[in-house]
Amino acid sequence: MVIWIIGLSGSGKTYLAKNLFKKFKGKKIIVDGDMVRKHISYNLKYTKKDREKNSQLISDLCKFLETQGFLVICSILSIFRNHQKFNRKKFNSYFQIFINTNLSQLKKRNIRKIYSQKNVVGKNLKFPKPYKSDMTIQNNFIPYTRKKIDLIKKKIINVEKNKNKY
């Protein structure tokens, strides 16, 4: 199964991925878009073309890990709706979570100084509405409680049971 967590930079994707990771048992892994870019994306830049290559690389990596029996929790910006659409066919089991955040709050917080740079999605580049997310979380930067993480896990499991895939 692949849990694909998407949203703007600083929206809480990695935070949610790490907390969900703790809740699932068995063979599991986190694939973080920033870490993939840092370690295995072969110096791709932030142009639209390079962003698309990086997104495809991450999707392919997740598919490989899924075929090896991992529960894959992927946190990625994911600005390409066609990739999101294709993911629904590509993976045996797929659950997409969109973390919706207020851009002005993100710019104010600007924790990693991302919104001070060039070619930033949400600032200079459009962040399109995601394709058919299974769950949307409105993040107002109030820390997730254990109960909230448990509810997200329960929804993932229930949706997958209903699909008879996991």
Q: Which residues contact 14 (CB under 8 A, 6 or more apart)?
A: 32, 34, 75
Q: Which residue has the tokens 């599991």?
A: 28
Rounded distance, CA 10 to CA 77, Å? 10
- Predicted confidence (pLDDT) at residue 166 exceeds the cutoff of 60: no
Q: What is the DSSP letter of 145?
A: P
- Predicted confidence (pLDDT) at residue 165 exceeds the cutoff of 70: no
| 128-149 residue pLDDT tens | 788 889 998 887 766 666 777 8
Three-state SS for 58? Answer: helix
| 1-22 residue pLDDT tens | 999 999 988 888 888 999 999 9
| 58-116 residue pLDDT tens | 999 999 999 999 999 999 888 777 888 889 999 999 999 998 887 777 667 656 666 56
Amino acid (1-letter code) at residue 108: K
Rounded distance, CA 66 to CA 29, Å? 10
6 and 96 Cβ atoms separated by less than 8 Å = yes
Q: What pLDDT is attached to residue 33?
A: 87
Rounded distance, CA 161 to CA 139, Å? 27
